[in-house]
């Protein structure tokens, strides 16, 4: 163990509960993580102590709320190595961050015949906005294929990213396969052709050290709720100069400097992109989750997840009727293991596991094109975080055994 798991677990009230009379085993962290008491307390503190709107008020509560909100922006910048808090735009989620780029940068920039390059492992949030943008601008969407282990085929990357490419949009860590993509290499290649790069970091920033200046990506999008924070808070990082060039995404209050009936001018970045009253309470509470992870050390978070993935893959590979998807080396993947059990639909498996107190995700994971690449309808997915420990895998294996007996799948081998 890289840190004291039981001490960490004591910080998460929900982990004390039972599900169907069994201890909760929470393996659905790629969807959303649980929250430590410090985050819950921070959320309550906002409503209990300094609930007010931000930026516009001059009374004590408004000033305190504004200071806390903007302090979180600085904490986000520090956490990801951004050069300034002005590079951090708050949104509702990763999806909105990507849509912001599609609308504010893409519509202004792309022309007919320009190319947008994505990968076959992308989440729907990093596919559909580009499809809509291509329809609007006449741009062409190109797809990078994957190999048998779920990695990008680099020869295809080099051939598809070319002079017509204006944007490469790719996940840093697949939410299904766990594949960790070589973002720095992709950025270098794209920039050599004058293209921008957007990184979907929803799965990577919560699980590994990420320095956006080292990546040199143009846009990085992620969400608070996947890294111990509240729901309803997303982040878009981009260099300040690039944000200055972009048009507003939403129009209304706060994003303006001056308004008349004839025209309007815009606020400075990042506030130009934050129209209306934002999610103040959850942004302020997000700061507590960043502090929690910083205290643990993201290197330690990553090391722990490698241990968990290695143990899970070892245990699952001992079950004859289980197929595991993604890279074979645990160090080449994030904290997720997608798998199927012969002759059992993942939804049925998930239902049986739930009866054993085990929470997993079952379905297409908002990655239907990837399911087609894998030639499956859906998969089961176990995903891990800082409070999971190896002994919890016993409940997962027992639940799979129970489902195999129930649906008469091939018997388990090994122990």
CA angle 12/16/22 to nearest 5° reads: 140
Matching residue, tokens 């430590």: 36
Give exposure, 219-247, as e/b (b: 16+ Cβ within 10 Å): bbbbbbbbbbbbebbbbbbbbbeebeebe
Helices 37-49 and 280-296, interaxial angle, to 10°?
150
CA angle 343/346/351 to nearest 5° reads: 110
255, 266 contact by CB (below 8 A):
yes
Distance of CA 214 to the CA centre of its chain: 19
C-alpha span between 412 and 89 (Å, rounded): 49
C-alpha span between 154 and 251 (Å, rounded): 41
C-alpha torsion 152→29→76→170, nearest 10: 20
Residues, the chain: 415
C-alpha span between 114 and 225 (Å, rounded): 34
215, 87 contact by CB (below 8 A):
no
Three-state SS for 276-327 is: CCCCHHHHHHHHHHHHHHHHHCHHHHHHHHHHHHHHHHHHHHCCCCEEEECC
Matching residue, tokens 């601008």: 137
> Would you please indicate which residues are annotated as catalytic (active-site) residues?
366
C-alpha span between 336 and 313 (Å, rounded): 10
């Amino acid at each position: 163990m890289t840190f004291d798991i039981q001490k960490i677990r004591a910080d998460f009230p929900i982990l004390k509960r039972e599900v169907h009379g069994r201890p909760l085993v929470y393996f659905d962290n790629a969807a959303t993580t649980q929250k430590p008491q410090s985050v819950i307390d921070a959320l309550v503190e906002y409503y209990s102590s300094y609930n007010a709107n931000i930026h516009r008020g001059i009374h004590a509560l408004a000033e305190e709320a504004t200071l806390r909100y903007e302090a979180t922006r600085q904490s986000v910048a520090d956490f990801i190595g951004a050069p300034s808090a002005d590079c951090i735009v708050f949104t509702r989620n990763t999806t909105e961050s990507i849509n912001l780029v599609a609308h504010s940068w893409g519509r202004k920039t792309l022309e007919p015949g320009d190319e947008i390059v994505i990968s076959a492992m992308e989440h729907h949030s990093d596919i559909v906005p580009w499809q809509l943008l291509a329809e609007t601008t006449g741009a062409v969407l190109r797809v990078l294929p994957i190999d048998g282990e779920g990695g990008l085929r680099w020869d295809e990357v080099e051939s598809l990213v070319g002079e017509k490419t204006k944007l490469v949009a790719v996940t840093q860590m697949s939410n299904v396969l766990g594949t960790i993509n070589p973002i720095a290499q992709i950025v270098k290649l794209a920039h050599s052709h004058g293209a921008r790069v957007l990184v979907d970091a929803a799965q990577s920033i919560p699980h590994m050290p990420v320095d956006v200046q080292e990546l040199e990506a143009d846009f990085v999008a992620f969400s608070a709720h996947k890294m111990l924070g509240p729901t309803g808070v997303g982040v878009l990082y981009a260099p300040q100069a690039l944000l200055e060039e972009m048009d507003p995404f939403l129009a209304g209050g706060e994003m303006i400097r001056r308004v008349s009936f004839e025209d309007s001018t815009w606020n400075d970045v990042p506030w130009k992109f934050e129209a209306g009253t934002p999610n103040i309470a959850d942004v302020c509470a997000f700061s507590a989750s960043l502090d929690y992870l910083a205290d643990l050390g993201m290197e330690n978070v990553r090391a722990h997840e490698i241990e968990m993935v290695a143990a899970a893959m070892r245990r699952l590979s001992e079950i004859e009727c289980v197929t595991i998807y993604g890279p074979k080396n645990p160090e080449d993947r994030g904290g997720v293991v997608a798998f199927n059990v012969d002759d059992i639909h993942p939804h049925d498996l998930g239902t049986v596991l739930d009866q054993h107190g085990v929470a997993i995700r079952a379905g297409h994971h908002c990655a239907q094109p990837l399911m087609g690449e894998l030639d499956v309808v859906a998969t089961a997915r176990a995903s891990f975080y800082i409070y999971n420990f190896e002994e919890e895998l016993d409940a997962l294996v027992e639940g799979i055994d129970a489902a195999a007996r129930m649906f008469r799948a091939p018997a388990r081998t090994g122990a």
